[in-house]
């Protein structure tokens, strides 16, 4: 692809207790492209995604083998500060999870934690990222009302703004449109396309058409194994593995 | 009527009956103390301390016990909160869900919560003797705090367990650490539940007689020192009901009415406050 690698996964295996969720995965996620992780339910898509910002650490009985390099740095090395790693990644969930505070404070939460106290600066950040997630015009008159009062589509765009406000290098999306109505989903997709030359985007999706619309690069997982990966047009037009062919042609989902 | 419908109706009737027992007994208790105590209730009871011969039917009031109970209850609740809050956040944010230590800790708390309050009283007494304390407000506060810590911790624990895991993940994903997540997100979201837990514990502490019997003692004077005995409402009720004089007994019911009213008032206030605090709750 000629693009440089941002996140490099090397022989990654992840277990939850005795259950092995990922088996010896090695892939390079290209910088400033959209990579879609596809595959049937329970294949380890979310586990792989959450291994990039070490959110899997929170799970019970998780153990990790192999390495994940972000900017060439092994993020599972003991000297890594996990809060600094997570600041590099904005995360969008399946269901938008707004924080129990105002719209303004939701966006300002990350920057405040990372040391920005100046009111003017925060105002600027909030405005900029609400604009970048195309929510600004809808909420500018009620920035201090509760974020939970927004519609679910607006909440997801707020989560995008909140993720962008920590000025990450990468955006991770865990089926970020699956709980949204079609119009809201399309707006999120559009935003992701608009910002993809600034951020590395990794999307978990079970919607093949979404992967087709957005992704430059595809990773196909099946039962914890990496089956095939490569540029989107190649995977969609000329899949090598029979399981990839079957999945892409909709023989299972 | 067919069989299934009859079954349905029988069980519905049984459920209604049980519901009635619950609601009815509350109403019955309130009506009893109200009817028996109402006539003895007067302003003097609220603003005066017992004069000589009060327990024989002479004049005076139970301000000593009202103030004593409130101060002891607030002190014990505060002390318990200082222990419970860290435990509950440690349990829920620092330990993993099924960690052996967390399970053991919850089991210990449940056992502690099941110990009768007289045992706490006896323990508090031993503890006092060991430190050379006399029956005093301080000893009462410590004993009641020990009594309510398990209740407070476990009810807060249930509240924190209900908070969606994704909310925590969302905060961590933004680079927040556990402390920031605890204070800025989880505490805020759990506040109404925490307030309720604190009040349940406060009510429990306020109403318990056995734990203060040896530890706080009793006095006709208003509380004025941490190291002197203090009167409490449950014991005031106990002593008044224990006299052979009907007049004093109905003062006992009036005291019960006052205790119940205080607890009721605090619950209502708490509901109101917690609703105001959580205008941004999700």
What is the model's pLDDT at position B282? 61
Q: Which domains does chain A have, with CATH numbers?
A: 1-88+171-177+199-253 (3.40.50.300), 95-167 (no CATH)
Length of chain A: 253
Q: Do both B28 and B53 map to the same domain?
A: no
- Say whether residue A146 is in contact with chain B using an 8 A CB cutoff: yes
Q: Do both B27 and B113 map to the same domain?
A: no
Eight-state DSSP code of residue A167: -
Searching chain A, which residue's CA lies closest to the CA of residue B188?
A: A100
| B6-B8-B11-B13 Cα dihedral, nearest 10 degrees | -70
Q: Phi/psi of residue A200, each to 5°?
A: -80, 125
Q: Which residue has the tokens 């099946």?
A: A222
Of A91, A113, A146, which has the smallest distance from its Cβ to B279's Cβ? Answer: A146
Of B171, B173, B175, which has the smallest distance from its Cβ to A114's Cβ? Answer: B175
Calpha distance B84→B198 (Å, rounded): 10
Instruction: Answer yes or no: is pLDDT of B277 > 70.
Output: no
Q: What is the pTM of this model?
A: 0.85
Cβ contact, residue pair A110, B175, below 8 Å: yes
Cβ contact, residue pair B174, A53, below 8 Å: no
Q: Do both B27 and B96 map to the same domain?
A: no
Q: Do both B122 and B191 map to the same domain?
A: yes
pLDDT band per the 50, 70, 90 thresholds, residue B46: confident
What is the model's pLDDT at position B281? 66
Q: Do both B64 and B200 map to the same domain?
A: yes
Calpha distance A164→A144 (Å, rounded): 19
B222 backbone φψ class: left, alpha, beta (φ>0; ψ -120 to 50): beta
Q: How many domains in chain B?
A: 2
pLDDT band per the 50, 70, 90 thresholds, residue B279: low
pLDDT band per the 50, 70, 90 thresholds, residue A251: confident
Mutation choice for A interface testing from B100, B166, B172, B174 by most A CBs within 10 A: B174
Asked if residue B261 is part of any domain, the answer here is yes
Instruction: Answer yes or no: is pLDDT of A23 > 50.
Output: yes
pLDDT band per the 50, 70, 90 thresholds, residue A1: very low
Q: What is the average per-residue pLDDT within B208-232?
A: 89
pLDDT tens track for A179-231:
889 998 999 999 999 999 999 999 999 889 999 999 999 999 999 999 999 99
Q: Which residue has the tokens 């006709």?
A: B220
pLDDT tens track for B67-126:
999 999 999 999 999 999 999 999 999 998 888 999 999 999 999 999 999 999 999 999
Q: Do both B84 and B176 map to the same domain?
A: yes
Asked if residue B100 is part of any domain, the answer here is yes
Q: Do both B84 and B133 map to the same domain?
A: yes
ipTM for the predicted complex? 0.91
Of B96, B173, B281, which has the smallest distance from its Cβ to A60's Cβ? Answer: B96
What is the model's pLDDT at position A215? 94
**Domain extent for B121:** 46-277
Mutation choice for B interface testing from A18, A97, A169 by most B CBs within 10 A: A97
Q: What is the mean pLDDT of chain A?
A: 92
Q: Phi/psi of residue A146, each to 5°?
A: -65, 135
Mutation choice for B interface testing from A18, A56, A58, A99 by most B CBs within 10 A: A99
What is the model's pLDDT at position A168? 94
What is the model's pLDDT at position A112? 95
Q: What is the average per-residue pLDDT within B149-168?
A: 93
Q: What is the mean pLDDT of chain B?
A: 90
- Say whether residue B169 is in contact with chain A using an 8 A CB cutoff: yes
Cβ contact, residue pair A100, B96, below 8 Å: no
Asked if residue B282 is part of any domain, the answer here is no
pLDDT tens track for B119-142:
999 999 998 888 888 899 999 999
pLDDT band per the 50, 70, 90 thresholds, residue A61: confident
Q: Do both B225 and B239 map to the same domain?
A: yes
Closest Cα to residue A22, out of A53, A66, A61, A60? A66
Of A87, A101, A162, which has the smallest distance from its Cβ to B188's Cβ? Answer: A101
Q: Do both B23 and B87 map to the same domain?
A: no
Query: Bigger pLDDT: A15 or B42?
Result: A15
Integer angstrom CA distances of residue B192 from B76, B196, B206, B272, B276: 20, 6, 21, 10, 9
Q: Which residue has the tokens 């087709």?
A: A212
Q: Do both B138 and B24 map to the same domain?
A: no
Q: Mind giving me the DSSP string for A148-162?
A: GGS-HHHHHHHHHHH
Q: Phi/psi of residue A40, each to 5°?
A: -70, 165
Query: b/e string for B123-149 if b means 16 or more Cβ within 10 A?
Result: bbbebbeeeebebbbbbbbbbbbbbbb
Q: Mind giving me the DSSP string for A67-100?
A: EEEETTEETTSTT--HHHHHHTEEEE-SS----S
Query: b/e string for B81-108 if b means 16 or more Cβ within 10 A?
Result: beebbebbbebbbeeeeeeeebeebeee
What is the model's pLDDT at position B274? 73
Q: Do both B88 and B193 map to the same domain?
A: yes
Q: What is the average per-residue pLDDT within A106-122?
A: 94
Q: Do both B128 and B169 map to the same domain?
A: yes
Calpha distance A65→A50 (Å, rounded): 15
Half-sphere exposure of A137 (CA within 13 A, CB side): 1
CATH number for the domain spanning B263: value is 1.10.3720.10
Q: What is the average per-residue pLDDT within A143-161?
A: 93
Q: What is the average per-residue pLDDT within A122-136?
A: 93
């Amino acid at each position: 692809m000629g693009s440089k690698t941002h996140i490099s996964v090397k022989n990654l295996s992840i277990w939850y207790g005795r259950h092995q969720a990922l088996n010896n995965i090695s892939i390079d996620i290209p910088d400033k492209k959209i990579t879609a992780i596809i595959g049937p339910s329970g294949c380890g898509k979310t586990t792989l995604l959450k291994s990039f910002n070490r959110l899997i650490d929170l799970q019970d009985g998780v153990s990790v083998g192999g390495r994940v390099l972000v900017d060439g740095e092994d993020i599972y090395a003991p000297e890594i500060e996990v809060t600094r790693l997570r600041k590099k990644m904005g995360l969008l969930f399946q269901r938008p999870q707004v924080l129990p505070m105002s719209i303004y404070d939701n966006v300002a939460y990350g920057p405040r934690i990372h040391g920005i106290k100046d009111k003017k600066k925060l105002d600027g950040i909030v405005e900029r990222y609400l604009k970048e997630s195309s929510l600004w015009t809808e909420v500018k008159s009620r920035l201090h009302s509760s974020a939970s009062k927004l519609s679910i589509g607006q909440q997801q765009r707020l989560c995008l703004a909140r993720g962008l406000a920590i000025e990450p290098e990468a955006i991770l999306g865990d089926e970020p449109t699956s709980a949204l109505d079609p119009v809201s989903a399309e707006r999120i997709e559009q935003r992701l396309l608009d910002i993809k030359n600034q951020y590395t985007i990794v999307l978990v999706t079970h919607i093949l058409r979404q992967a087709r619309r957005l992704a430059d690069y595809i990773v196909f997982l099946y039962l914890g194994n990496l089956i095939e990966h490569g540029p989107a047009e190649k995977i969609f037009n000329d899949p090598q593995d029979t399981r990839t062919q079957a999945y892409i042609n909709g023989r299972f989902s | 009527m067919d069989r299934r419908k009859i079954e349905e109706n029988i069980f519905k009737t049984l459920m209604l009956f049980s519901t009635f027992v619950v609601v009815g007994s509350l109403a019955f208790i309130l009506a009893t103390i109200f009817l028996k105590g109402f006539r003895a209730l007067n302003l003097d009871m609220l603003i005066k301390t017992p004069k000589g011969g009060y327990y024989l039917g002479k004049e005076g009031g139970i301000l000593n016990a009202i103030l004593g109970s409130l101060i002891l209850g607030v002190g014990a609740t505060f002390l318990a909160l200082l222990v419970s809050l860290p435990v509950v956040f440690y349990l829920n944010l620092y330990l993993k869900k099924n960690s052996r230590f967390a399970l053991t800790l919850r089991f210990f708390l449940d056992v502690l919560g099941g110990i009768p309050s007289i045992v706490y009283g006896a323990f508090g007494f031993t503890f006092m003797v060991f430190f050379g304390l006399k029956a005093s407000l301080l000893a009462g506060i410590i004993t009641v705090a020990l009594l309510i810590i398990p209740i407070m911790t476990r009810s807060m624990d249930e509240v924190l367990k209900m908070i969606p895991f994704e909310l925590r993940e969302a905060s961590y994903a933004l680079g927040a650490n556990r402390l920031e997540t605890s204070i800025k997100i989880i505490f805020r979201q759990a506040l109404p539940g925490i307030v309720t837990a604190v009040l349940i514990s406060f009510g429990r502490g306020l109403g318990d007689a056995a734990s203060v019997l040896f530890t706080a003692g009793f006095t006709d004077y208003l509380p004025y020192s941490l190291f002197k005995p203090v009167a409490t409402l449950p014991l005031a009720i106990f002593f008044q009901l224990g006299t052979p004089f009907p007049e004093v007994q109905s003062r006992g019911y009036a005291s019960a009415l006052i205790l119940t009213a205080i607890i009721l008032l605090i619950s209502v206030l708490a509901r109101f406050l917690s609703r105001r605090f959580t205008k941004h709750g999700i």
